[in-house]
Amino acid sequence: MLLRQTILYLPAQIVGPVFQFVSAVVWTYYLPPAEMGAFALIVAAQELVYLGTLFWFGLYTVRYFDGTGGADARQSYLDTELLLFLAATAATFAAALLLPWLTSVVLTPGMVAASAVYMASRALVTHLTDRARTEADTLAYTVLQSVWPVLGLVIGLVLVEILGPTASSVLWGYAAAQVLSLLIAFARLGVGRSPRAAQRDMVQAALKYGLPLTFGAVLVWVANNGVRFVLEWTEGAAAVGLVTVGWALGLRAAGFASMLVTAAAFPLAVKRAREGGMAEGQAQLERNGVLLLAALAPAAAGLFAVSEPLVRLVIAETYREITVEVLPLAIVSGALRNFRLHFGEQVFLLNEKPEVPLVNDVVDAALTVVGAGIGLWLGGLTGAVEGAAVGALVSLVGTLVVAWRWYRFALPLRDGVRILAAAAVMGLAVGLLPTVPTVASLALAMAAGTAVYGALLAAFYPAETRLAAGWAARALGR
């Protein structure tokens, strides 16, 4: 079931993140560091505003919304959702008006307007993406995940040529694409008719479940973006722009690898728990974790091994040297944090114990900010990123320890050793190749790494390999 659901979500899981990765590279050739820094800070601000407006309701949706329920229950949900959409949009526009007083970046009225539309539309897209996967609507999910990064890049490039290489041009491009994806998604998923019919009980239940997790998510946001704001406070927007390329690429690579297998994972565990009890749900989470590690470990090891020639090939010269130093650290930090969020913390969410992840998020955020500050003082821009990686490691270890003590929840040791060994051998093999910054050389390195990792997994899991091969043969036969 998990493999089938993962394959159904695979197109969206590939197209959207790949274009986000491509965009991070493309903008190095168009935006100067100060504009890149301004764009990164606005994107970070959007994430924070979303956490404060709709995130908690998205959590409630994933955990409790039953898309196959009765028509009346569905309409009550949609009406409540519509009211929250309107309130979130109003709050987002208000937050955008405050941006000039909250950052050292010089924001023109046009950039504030672009930020407002970008931030509001992005929040709605993010929430509807959660509802689409909860309802198992893979088409809507694919549209919401893919249209805005693909079309947003295209429109942004056009606007950069017309209006100039500014963060405002890029923001308008993504905002236009997000509005389009919203129109398509509303047509498929439905929208409320009367915000006045919103259910107060539903809002209260969503707040009770989601608010503690929202505090935790804000702390994760601090962990992911603390480096940027420490640099802005001390070095200015240009320093943020220089570091943010490697930092964003590393986090997105880890996020891409994890989302290949997590879109259907937690909803499936919830379904198992609902149908077969909590033990069955927890067992599904452990199976999810094996698949997650199998995706994260080779992605991190492989990208770490080829990071320098890759950066020298694709990144503009202005950003190249600092990205070579930052990218490997960002990959490690992103992999550790994604494994904590999408495996270690899931058992607490399944058992409705959100306070435990919250404590670990406090540790992660605090260590990230303090570590980034100390690292900046001792080691400059690269040192700041090293401090952030330490925070991710400590919080992961803490989460796994508590998960084992409370629920005897852990990744099966045998599977963990096999997967990590395969990824380590793959990374070593790729690192020994004389890879140079050319497309052919990098393609050869990635092909070799894939072959080594695949061969080792096939040797470690012969029965599963035969099963997968048979399934693929039958699928191709049809």
Encode pLDDT of 219-267 as tens digits: 878 877 777 777 767 666 677 777 888 888 888 888 777 776 665 577 7
Task: Please say if the pLDDT value at position 5 is more than 60.
Answer: no
Q: Which pLDDT band holds residue 141 (cuts at 50, 70, 90)?
A: confident
Backbone angles phi, psi at 108, to 5 degrees: -80, 165
> Taking Cα atoms as reference points, which of 167, 12, 140 lies closest to residue 67?
140
Q: Which pLDDT band holds residue 103 (cuts at 50, 70, 90)?
A: low
Comparison of pLDDT for 209 and 357, the residue scoring more: 209
- pLDDT, residue 1, reads 52
Amino acid type, 430: V
> Taking Cα atoms as reference points, which of 298, 30, 294 lies closest to residue 167?
30
- pLDDT, residue 448, reads 93
Cα distance between residue 266 and residue 30, in whole Å: 39
Mean of the pLDDT values across residues 459-474?
Answer: 74
- pLDDT, residue 474, reads 65
Comparison of pLDDT for 104 and 25, the residue scoring more: 25
Task: Please say if the pLDDT value at position 10 is more than 80.
Answer: no
Long-range contacts of 158-163 (CB under 8 A, 24+ apart): 160/30
Task: Please say if the pLDDT value at position 17 is more than 80.
Answer: no
- pLDDT, residue 421, reads 93
The answer to whether 295 touches 419, Cβ cutoff 8 Å, is no
Cα distance between residue 266 and residue 355, in whole Å: 18
Task: Please say if the pLDDT value at position 271 is more than 70.
Answer: yes
Q: Find where tokens 């924070």 sit.
A: 48
Comparison of pLDDT for 349 and 81, the residue scoring more: 81
Q: Which pLDDT band holds residue 4 (cuts at 50, 70, 90)?
A: low
Q: Find where tokens 């994260």 sit.
A: 296
- pLDDT, residue 213, reads 77
Which percentage of the chain shows pLDDT scores above 70? 90
